[in-house]
């Protein structure tokens, strides 16, 4: 698929996906949402992709929904907001959680509205020290979508999730780190290097094992202990059948670094 608003690159086993509408802070219009969904599908269907890195071009990560598209200035009929959420955002969030590869989000600048919540749905969020997170929805009469009302309270607790959602304040990456919302904060000039190094590292790890960890952690967000213990038993059984498990144990016994093949 030809893509205008998304750059897709395969780099040493890592699919790097860049949101690319820098003039409007990478805000998401319908074509961009379609292209992002197709880029995620391309990464998912490529077995040589063992980690996925998401970032933004220019000074922002993503300013959420394109408000020019949501409410056209020329007075033409706006698309239904419910429909935008259904066809643009929900499929992106589902893919980020269901695609069983580690997702690393390099938040290079402001992440607002759906842009913030696309980042928070990823497995690792590394932010530039000049980035920010804004649950901007309340400022225009909307509610956090793109999984915001699901992930935020689980990441930071109900009190902080409520404050962020109802006040829409700009959250610094340092505060986000302190709250447990993100994984790391790095200087802006180091962001892409550090995020790629993490993605590259993950791409050399036991890919099936990491996929099963993601599946177990997804389920833990709603399971009780008994169900989770049963799931762990089942998934550990699968992990123990992989080539990489045998290689990991063998490498340990032979006192050498493992060579994981991702199977
Ligand atoms: O249909 C639906 O609405 C349902 C889906 C909802 C999901 C959502 O994401 S709702 C939330 C939508 N996003 C926002 O409300 C954020 C809007 N943007 C901002 O508040 C600010 O731009 C930022 C705080 C993110 C950054 O501020 P600043 O001062 O660094 O930049 P700026 O000057 O405001 O923006 C630069 C340009 O990007 C500017 O265009 P211009 O004046 O240079 O031609 C601005 O209009 C444009 N831009 C930024 N965000 C959006 C946008 N254009 C359209 N839509 C945007 N979301």
* Ligand 1 nearest atom to the CA of residue 146, by list position: 7
Mean pLDDT to the nearest integer, 124-137: 98
Q: What is the pLDDT of residue 79?
A: 85
Q: What is the pLDDT of residue 1?
A: 80
The vertex-20 CA angle with 117 and 23, nearest 5°, equals: 100
Q: Which residue has the least CA distance to atom 56 on ligand 1?
A: 66
User: How does the average pLDDT of the chain come out, rounded?
Assistant: 97
With a pLDDT cut of 70, the percent of the chain lying above it is 100
* Ligand 1 nearest atom to the CA of residue 88, by list position: 5
Residues 201, 12 contacting (CB under 8 angstroms): no
Q: Which residue has the least CA distance to atom 42 on ligand 1?
A: 24
Residues 39, 28 contacting (CB under 8 angstroms): no
Q: Residues with Cβ within 6 A of ligand 1? A: 24-25, 27, 63-68, 70, 81, 84-85, 110, 112-114, 134, 136-137, 140, 142, 145
User: Which of 63, 116, 121, 143 should be mutated for ligand 1, with most atoms under 8 A from CB?
Assistant: 63
Residues 35, 89 contacting (CB under 8 angstroms): no
Q: Using the mean position of ligand 1's atoms as its centre, give its distance from the Cα of residue 204 in Å.
A: 37
Q: Which residue has the least CA distance to atom 15 on ligand 1?
A: 136
Q: What is the pLDDT of residue 75?
A: 86
Q: What is the pLDDT of residue 82?
A: 96
Residues 239, 260 contacting (CB under 8 angstroms): no
pTM, full prediction: 0.97
pLDDT tens figures, 83-126: 999 999 999 999 999 999 999 999 999 999 999 999 999 999 99
Strands 14-19 and 6-11: antiparallel
The CB density around residue 74, as the number of other CB atoms within 10 Å, is 5
d(Cα 48, Cα 90) in Å, to the nearest integer? 26
d(Cα 138, Cα 246) in Å, to the nearest integer? 51
Dihedral sign, Cα of residue 65, residue 69, residue 70, residue 72: positive
């Amino acid at each position: 698929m030809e893509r205008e608003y998304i750059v897709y690159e395969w780099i040493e086993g890592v699919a790097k996906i860049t949101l690319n509408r820098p003039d409007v802070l990478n805000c998401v219009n319908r074509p961009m949402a379609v292209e992002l969904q197709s880029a995620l599908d391309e990464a998912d269907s490529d077995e040589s992709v063992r980690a996925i890195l998401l970032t933004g071009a220019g000074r922002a990560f993503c300013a959420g929904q394109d408000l020019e598209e949501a409410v056209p200035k020329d007075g033409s009929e706006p698309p239904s907001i419910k429909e935008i959420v259904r066809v643009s955002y929900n499929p992106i969030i589902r893919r980020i959680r269901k695609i069983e590869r580690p997702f690393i989000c390099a938040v290079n600048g402001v992440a607002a509205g759906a842009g913030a919540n696309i980042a928070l749905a990823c497995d690792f969020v590394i932010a530039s020290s000049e980035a920010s997170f804004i649950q901007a929805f309340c400022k225009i009469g909307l509610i956090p979508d793109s999984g915001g009302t699901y992930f935020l309270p689980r990441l930071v607790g109900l009190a902080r999730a409520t404050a962020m959602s109802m006040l829409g304040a700009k959250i610094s990456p340092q505060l986000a780190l302190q709250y447990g919302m993100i994984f790391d904060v790095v200087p802006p000039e180091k962001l892409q290097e550090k995020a790629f190094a993490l993605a590259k590292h993950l791409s050399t790890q036991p890919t099936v094992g990491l996929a099963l960890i993601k599946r177990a952690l997804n389920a833990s967000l709603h399971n009780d202990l008994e169900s989770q213990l049963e799931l762990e038993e089942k998934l550990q059984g699968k992990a123990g059948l992989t080539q990489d498990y045998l290689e990991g144990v063998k490498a340990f016994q032979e006192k050498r670094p493992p060579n994981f093949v991702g199977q």
